[in-house]
């Protein structure tokens, strides 16, 4: 597999979600290039409704690829403010463009300091190098 | 289903991988976690034939569980190198076991993926499936949850999976070329349950360099199994999509 892309401007979870800070207390979430490569062809993404709340590392949805279902974990506690509905018809966007069209949810954070415990790009690169 | 989930929970606590081999009674069609099914099956006809339905926690498509061996493996999600490598490693172990039993089988190129749909599991060949010629013998599905991978699948002994198409309300055009394989056609004999278990265990032991210890669910696991059984027997879950 080609080396996975780990953008320097994002944060990461150990469960392979990426996090983009889009405001003081809002983030955008998806799964990493490494994760989509490991899963291979994504065929189904199940996301929550806008308004749903999740605690830190609680499952917010699932993704299915080649008959493998994986849970998706909320990087921090918060409320869903937007969902990428386009993934219902085009789940392959997660493979094609994991950091762009393949984004999954936007979260309004309960406590923005929870982001401090996420992995840096360097930390995540080390994790997937193991 | 409930026992498989309990085994995955136990692996999360102990780190000790588990293999389970089992059969179903009454016969049952298991649905993939995300496959559409609501209103698509003839419930009355299924009842008349004594066939149950359950929705799996894992992906994939419908499987008819009757005259088959179901296997379930629960293992740490990185113990065998991630979901895709785990899928391949388990299928290689099953392939070794089937070959020990004398079945001429092979693994399909893993790069072919299928969307969840009402097309039954054994009706189309997906990447990584175990086949005899161009006919599918083993179909598997996976769940990755909180550090543990649960993979289970079905090894066909005899029969043709026809209830998965006959019970569909939509018109289904059967094609003889799509018929799955079955072990009784590949061997000169149908192995006993003991022979099957020994063959499959030997495949895992040889390929994954493991040694099996027989065990049963303890009281705490049985309690969790009852709780999960309520979930899996809830029609709201079975017919959620």
> ipTM of this model?
0.88
Give mean pLDDT, residues B138-154.
95
Sketch the domain layout of chain A as residue ranges: 19-110
> Measured in Å, how far apart are chain A's first and last C-alpha atoms?
15
In the residue annotation, B28 being an active-site residue is answered as no
* Alpha carbon distance A48, A110 (integer Å): 17
Q: Does A66 touch chain B (CB under 8 A)?
A: yes
Torsion angle (degrees, nearest 10) of CA A41, A18, A90, B123: 30
Give the model confidence (pLDDT) of B229-241 as tens digits.
999 999 999 999 9
Which letter, b or e, does each residue of B110-122 get, where b requires 16 or more Cβ atoms within 10 Å of its Cβ? beebbebebbbbb
- Which of these, A21, A40, A4, lies nearest to A127 by C-alpha position? A4
Query: Which of B4, B30, B112, B113 should we substitute to test contact with A (largest number of A Cβ atoms within 10 Å)?
Result: B113
Would you identify the CATH topology of the domain A19-110?
A: OB fold (Dihydrolipoamide Acetyltransferase, E2P) (2.40.50)
Give mean pLDDT, residues A51-59.
97
Contacts of A121 (CB under 8 A, 6+ apart): A6, A7, A8, A10, A11, A12
* Alpha carbon distance B238, B241 (integer Å): 8
Three-class SS of residue B236? Answer: helix
Give mean pLDDT, residues A79-93.
97
Tell me the pLDDT of chain B averaged across its residues: 93
Q: Which residues of B touch A38 (CB under 8 A)?
A: 82-84
* Alpha carbon distance A67, B138 (integer Å): 13
* Alpha carbon distance B160, B123 (integer Å): 10
Q: How confident is the model at residue B105 (pLDDT cuts 50, 70, 90)?
A: very high
The residue with tokens 């692996």 is B11
Structural tokens at position B167: 């019970």
Handedness of CA B190, B196, B198, B199 (dihedral sign): positive
Domains and CATH numbers, chain B: 2-210 (3.30.930.10)
Q: Helix H segments across B35-152?
A: 43-49, 82-100
Q: Phi and psi dihedrals of A124, rounded to 5? A: -70, -40
Q: Return the number of CB contacts < 8 Å for A and B.
A: 73
Partner residue facing A64 (CB), from B34, B84, B145:
B34
pLDDT at A1 over 60: no
* Alpha carbon distance B87, B44 (integer Å): 36
No. of H helices and E strands in chain A? 3, 9
Query: How many CB atoms neighbour CB A113 within 10 A?
Result: 9
Structure-model confidence comparison of residues B82 and B208, the more confident one? B208
Query: Residues B101, B121, B137, B196: which is the catalytic one?
Result: B121
Q: Does A71 touch chain B (CB under 8 A)?
A: yes
Give mean pLDDT, residues B86-111.
93
Q: Which residues of B touch A69 (CB under 8 A)?
A: 33-34, 57-59, 141-144
Asked if B65 and B153 count as a contact pair (C-beta separation under 8 A), the reply is: no
Give mean pLDDT, residues B38-52.
97
Partner residue facing A71 (CB), from B34, B61, B144:
B144
Structural tokens at position B20: 């389970």
pLDDT at B142 over 60: yes
Q: Does A38 touch chain B (CB under 8 A)?
A: yes
Three-class SS of residue B156? Answer: strand
The residue with tokens 């009842």 is B47
Q: Which residues of B touch A65 (CB under 8 A)?
A: 59, 113
pLDDT at B195 over 70: yes
* The predicted structure's pLDDT at residue B81: 85
| d(CA A55, nearest CA chain B) in Å | 15
Asked if A37 and A1 count as a contact pair (C-beta separation under 8 A), the reply is: yes
Give mean pLDDT, residues A33-52.
94
């Amino acid at each position: 597999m080609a080396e996975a892309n780990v953008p320097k401007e994002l944060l990461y979870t150990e469960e392979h979600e990426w996090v983009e800070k889009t405001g003081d207390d809002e983030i955008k979430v998806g799964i990493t290039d490494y994760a989509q490569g490991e899963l291979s062809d994504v065929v189904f993404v199940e996301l929550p409704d806008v308004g749903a709340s999740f605690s830190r590392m609680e499952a917010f949805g699932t993704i299915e690829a080649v008959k493998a279902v994986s849970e998706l974990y909320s990087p921090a506690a918060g409320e869903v403010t937007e969902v990428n509905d386009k993934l219902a018809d085009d789940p392959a966007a997660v493979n094609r463009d994991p950091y762009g069209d393949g984004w999954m949810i936007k979260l309004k954070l309960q406590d923005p300091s929870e982001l401090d415990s996420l992995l840096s790009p360097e930390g995540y690169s080390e994790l997937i190098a193991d | 289903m409930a026992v498989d989930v309990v085994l995955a929970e136990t692996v999360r606590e102990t780190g000790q991988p588990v293999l389970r081999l089992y059969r179903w009674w009454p016969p049952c069609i298991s649905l993939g976690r995300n496959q559409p099914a609501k209103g698509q099956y003839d419930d009355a006809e299924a009842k008349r034939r004594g066939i149950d339905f359950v929705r799996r926690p894992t992906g994939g498509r419908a499987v008819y569980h009757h005259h088959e061996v179901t296997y379930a493996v629960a293992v740490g999600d990185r113990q065998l190198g991630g979901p895709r490598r785990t899928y391949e490693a388990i299928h290689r172990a099953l392939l070794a076991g089937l070959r020990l039993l004398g079945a001429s089988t092979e693994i399909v190129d893993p790069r072919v993926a299928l969307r969840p749909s009402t097309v039954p599991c054994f009706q189309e060949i997906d990447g990584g499936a175990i086949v005899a010629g161009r006919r599918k013998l083993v179909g598997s599905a996976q769940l990755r949850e909180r550090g543990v991978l649960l993979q289970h699948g079905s090894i066909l002994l005899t029969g043709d999976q026809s209830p998965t198409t006959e019970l569909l309300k939509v018109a289904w055009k059967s094609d003889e070329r799509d018929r799955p394989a079955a072990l009784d056609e590949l061997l000169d004999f149908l192995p006993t349950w003991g022979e099957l278990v020994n063959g499959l265990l030997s495949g895992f032991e040889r390929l994954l360099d493991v040694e099996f210890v027989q065990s049963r669910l303890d009281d705490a696991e049985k309690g969790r199994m009852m709780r999960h059984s309520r979930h899996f027997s809830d029609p709201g879950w079975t017919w959620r999509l």
